[in-house]
Amino acid sequence: MTDPERVDHAGPIPGGRVRHGTGVNATRAFPTEAHPTNRDPFVLFERFYIDPDAGFPMHPHRGFEIVSYMLDGGMEHEDSLGVSHTAREGDAMRITTGGGIRHSEFPADGAACNGLQLWVNLPRERKEIEADYADAAAADLPTATEDGATVTTVIGDGSPLELHTPMEYLDARVDDAWTWTVPDNRTGFAFGVAGAGTADGDRIDAGDVLPVDGGRSVEFAPEDSDSSSDDDDTEFRVVCVAGEPHGEPIRQRGPYVL
């Protein structure tokens, strides 16, 4: 399925730097100057870095779902549903903002943290559903060894977290050639998390995004150790996300998706 508003790229492109008004820095995959559109059903995707003295005070959201996946450190979440939870490395949280929710996010234990956050649009008929929250510990997310990679399923088969949009969200630690395929009826992207490698032969680094059309298979491989002397000990890690498009305009207005 093709979204006429999106911009497709043949190879990986660098993410854009974003500084939130609360003092939080992020590397955003899209929308950015290099990739100015959303990718239906995905509103935005970024890696956030929260310093010990920064964070997001209580603020509102509505009209979409949020998936936060921690890479390092801990993040304290509180919301208007009465939930208070600290997510740590490898843990994930899902918030259905629906008709409206307020929440805050701060680093735990007086230490910095970083992770990945994905916004997924809600289809028009579900924009005003009741807000909801769920979380999963790292041990609850299925991890399997495949040809060329160790893959954790954040969202998808076996994960306890579900969204209102059919999708998969994989965290792959690639140690040899590994292939990811996006089904014909889905829109996808890959994002470099750590190390360096290739995607169909094109170099992809941490912070780069590769938009992927439905029906495409991408072969990832770690960078040849002979080509780098500084990063030999850094594993090549990439997240791969694909979802079923809604075929509806994505109208983001700050913390709201209308």
Q: Which of 237, 245, 255 has the alpha carbon at shortest distance from 212?
A: 245
Q: Which of 187, 180, 25 has the alpha carbon at shortest distance from 117?
A: 25
* Domain regions of the chain by residue span: 13-257
Q: Which two tokens stand for residue 171?
A: 């965290």
128-137 tens-digit pLDDT: 999 999 999 9
What amino acid occupies position 91? D
Tell me whether residue 84 is exposed, middle or buried, using C-beta atoms within 10 angstroms of its C-beta: 0 to 12, 13 to 18, 19 or more.
exposed
pTM, 2 dp: 0.93
Q: Are 38 and 250 in contact (CB under 8 A)?
A: yes
pLDDT tens track, the chain, 258 positions: 334 344 445 699 999 999 998 889 999 999 999 999 999 999 999 999 999 999 999 999 999 999 999 999 999 999 999 999 999 999 999 999 999 999 999 999 999 999 999 999 999 999 999 999 999 999 999 999 999 999 999 999 999 999 999 999 999 999 999 999 999 999 999 999 999 999 999 999 999 999 999 999 999 999 875 544 454 568 999 999 999 999 999 999 999 999
Q: Which fold has domain 13-257?
A: Jelly Rolls (2.60.120)
pLDDT of 231 reads 47
Please give the Cα distance from 113 to 70 (Å, whole number): 8
